[in-house]
Every structure is written in structure tokens, then in C-alpha cells.
Structure 1
Amino acid sequence: MRTALSASFLASLFLVTACAGKAQGDQAQEQAQGAPETKHDEGDMKHGHGEGHGHHAHGEGHGDNGHGYKGHRFENPADWTEHFESAERTAWQKPDEVVAALGLRPDAIIADVGAGTGYFAVRLAAAAPKGKVFAVDIEPGMVEWLGKRAKEQGLSNMIAVQGKSDSPALPEAVDVVFMCNVIHHIEDPTAYFAGVAGSLRPGGKVVIVDFRKDNPDDAPGPPAAMRMSVEQISGIMSAAGYHLAAENQDLLQYQVMLTYERD
């Protein structure tokens, strides 16, 4: 059985590495970039690079290549929040514009799956003040941090949720399931999204923001072997019982924003 850290957390590691320059794939580089120190759990090393990657355990295609974060445990979420939520990332991730593009009702119920440090979750909570945001992560330390952050920022409508590798484990049905930089971390995405369908309210949708397959090598994000085309993502979603309802190729420089509805 393979265990893992936050999907968005590790996706953010790709972002930091890519923005800082060519990745070297070791802990020394993290420290050189000013990243908070991580800790190896040698008991997890047997899981290969799949360890430490949120909902997935795909391993193949990236090994230690490029970033090499297998076996890490993130000790200080507050430090990582500052590191991952930099002005540099915000300039191209455009989180406020992404949230605006969702067109949320004030009373919407949203699941931010792979919420990590809460980069999007806090914005979603502000956009739906009369609704709820379930900030889902499978790393217990991050779930604890999300709950603390919600309390400190007075976001009573943001609820931290302990997810599972094969399910977001949502406590109630939602209007929107939002995922940013997560889908390529899911081990069996067809089964995962088929299960998610049961957690959507009538008219509900799944919104996926992820890196373009044809990004240049020096762009933020994971290696090309990990990136998925719109056709690949839509094939997964079709097999899970969804159809592509909207495709936004213009909002973000390095990512696409895809909206899926149940068939």
C-alpha cells in the first residue's frame, strides 16, 4: 500500500523548482532555493517517487528526475505557505481570476480537493461567504494547518477535511469540486471521479485547472511526461461519466481550466 502527501503541496514544489531554475532533484537544492527544510522518512523510501505525491502513486516517468521529493515529510506548514504563495506564483497562477471565473453563488458549497496550504481555499471561502468550502487534503499535518488557518482568518465557512487516496471523503454534497494541479497525482482517476459524481449536487460540476501538455521545458509545473492534454483529461472524465461543458484556454498562460458535468 502506498501512502502520500498533499497533491497540491507537491505540485507547488514543481512550481517553486521550475520558477527558480532547472531542478536538480535533491534536498540541497531545496535549501539553496530558500525552501523550508524537509525531513526524510526512510521507511517510506520503498515507495519510490510515488511517496509524497498526494492522491497518486504513479512513480513511473519521473523517479527522482527533476525534483526528487520522494520520502519527504513537511514539518512546518506555515513556512511552506509563505514559500508556495509567493508573488511570483500569483503573477501567473492568477488565483483571484480563477475563482472569479468559477462564477460561484454566495451560498455555493465547494470542495477544494488537494487544498495543500489553502492557497485557493481561502479565496473560495471569501467568494462564497454564505456557503461552505471543504478544504480537502490527505496529509494530516496539512489538514490541521488548514483548520488553523481558517480559524485565524475568521473563515467560519472553510472546513478542513481529511481526504483519502481514493476519495475526497466529503461530508456532504457540493456544487463544485475544484482541483488545481492535482489530476496527474491520482492513481486511478477514472474510479476517483466516478466516486466523486455521487458527491455532486444537481447541476454540480468538476473544475480542473492543470498544466498544458505543450508547455516549454522552462515553464512552471511538472515534467512533460507527467502533464496531460485536454484530450487525455477528457477521456478520463468521459470514462467516469462526465462530459466537457466548458474549456478556458485563455485565462492562464501555463494552464487550462476545464469544466465537467455529469452525463
Structure 2
Amino acid sequence: MPHRFDNAAEWAKRFEDPERDVWQKPDEVIAALALPPDAKVADIGSATGYFAVRLARAVPKGRVYGVDIEPDMARYLGERARSEGLSHLTAVLGAPADPKIPEPVDLVLVVNTYHHIADRPAYFQRVLGSLTPKGRLAIIDFRLGQPMGPPEQHRLSPEQVRQELEAAGYRFAQEHGFLPNQYFLVFTRAGNG
């Protein structure tokens, strides 16, 4: 689902709206991920930093890469990281077929972005190469039939996400059910118990 998000300041009004916290539950999401303070994390589709900034605060001894394919989003996040004193948060300009994560990470988080990625099995095979041996992939996206999110025809069922990621070399590990409008699926590298 190609979609342009090239005016970061305008999108920030929507993405960073405090009302989003009610249904996105960012603090609960980060708590559920149980990250150690030195974790390395990549937030794919980071946009204006809604999760990337929170992740950086959650891993003060770690590193967070906020990945986006929109140059203006990467610029905005880089400026935000500097202005908020988060030197361990780095904005990364990814490509549609390659997130360009600079080093292996313990967690890749993809929130409200999975449905935008074109060739997901190939893309997430590439992501697999950016995970540490025990690394995890967490996907949060809108469920079918919910009042918010992308048009219904662009949404994917959690079953489809599982099938695509299992084909890309992942194993389903866990599902969290506390988000009212979204599924929250966690995967590990296939072969890891």
C-alpha cells in the first residue's frame, strides 16, 4: 500500500496526538516487550518518533534506530532526538526493500506499518539478517473491522502476517491481547526455542 508521508510537521500533529495514547497504549506495549536497559532496537516506520522516543527512554544504555523511508520523517526524528537529548536514538533513512538497520538488534518493532510494505516475505528475510541470534520481531497493526486504521482492503489478518513471516524464516512466539484495535504479535528466528 504505497502512501506518502512527506510532511513530517503536519503528520506529527496526528501521530503525536495525546489522544493516541488511549488506544495505542505505548507504555503497556513497551512494558510487554520487557527490554533490558542495554537493548538495541529498531523501530521500522518510526515516522515522527512516537515509539522510537519512548523506546530510547526505556533503554538508556542501549541504542534505538528509528527507520523510515521518508527523508522528511528521518530528518524530523533526527532533530527531535537532538532536541530531547537522546544521543542513543539515531534516525535511519531506509529504502522500500531494505530498512538499512546499521547493526544487529535485539528487537525490531513495526507499528501500523506492516501493511505498507510491498514484498513482505523478502523484506522480512532481510530484516532477519539484522536480528541478533535471540532477537525478536514485534508486529502491531490494525485488525479487520475496527473503527480506525487504514481502509479495510489494505488491512491484513494476524493469520496472514503469521503465514508471511513463517515463510520468511520466523517462528510465532507470543500474542498480546490488550490493544483494543490492533493485534500485537511477537516472532523469533525459526529454530530458536
Please give the TM-score of this superposition, normalised by the length of structure 1.
0.70
In structure 2, the gaps of 5 or more residues are none
Give the structure 2 partner of residue 40 of structure 1: none
Alpha-carbon distance change, 79 to 51 in structure 1, aligned in 2, over 3 angstroms: closer
**SS of residue in 1 equivalent to 2:133:** strand
Give the partner amino acid of 1:248. H
Matched, 1:135 2:62: no
Specify every segment of 5 or more residues in structure 1 that has no aligned partner in the other structure, as ranges.
1-48, 54-72
Are 2:116 and 1:185 aligned? yes
Displacement of 1:151: 0.5
Asked if 1:155 is matched to 2:86, the reply is yes
Corresponding residue of 2:183: 256
AA of the residue aligned to 1:182: T
1:103 to 30, 34, 37: 34
Deviations 1:6-35 (A, max 9, x none): xxxxxxxxxxxxxxxxxxxxxxxxxxxxxx
Equivalent pair of 2:47/2:68 in contact (CA under 8 Å): yes
Q: Establish whether residue 120 from structure 1 lines up as the match of residue 72 from structure 2.
A: no
The question of 1:52 aligning with 2:4 is answered yes
Query: SS state of the match for residue 207, structure 1?
Result: strand
Whole-angstrom CA distance in 2 between matches of 1:224 and 1:115: 22
- Structure 1 residue 241 and structure 2 residue 148: aligned? no
* Aligned residue-pair number: 190
Instruction: Please tell me the residue identity of whatever aligns with 1:82.
Output: K
Task: Give the C-alpha shift of residue 96 in structure 1.
Answer: 1.2
How many angstroms apart in 2 are the aligned matches of 1:239 and 1:233? 10
Determine the structure 2 residue equivalent to 1:5.
none
Greater strand share, structure number: 2
Q: CA deviation at 1:214?
A: 3.5
- Paired residue type of 2:168: A
Identity over the aligned pairs, expressed in percent?
A: 49
Code of the aligned partner of 2:25: K
- Measured after TM superposition, the shift of residue 51 of structure 1 is 4.7
- Aligned-partner SS, 2:186: strand
Q: Partners of 1:51 and 1:145 in 2: how far apart?
A: 18
- Residue 152 (structure 2) aligns with: 224
User: Contact 2:40–2:64 (CA<8 Å) still a contact in 1?
Assistant: yes
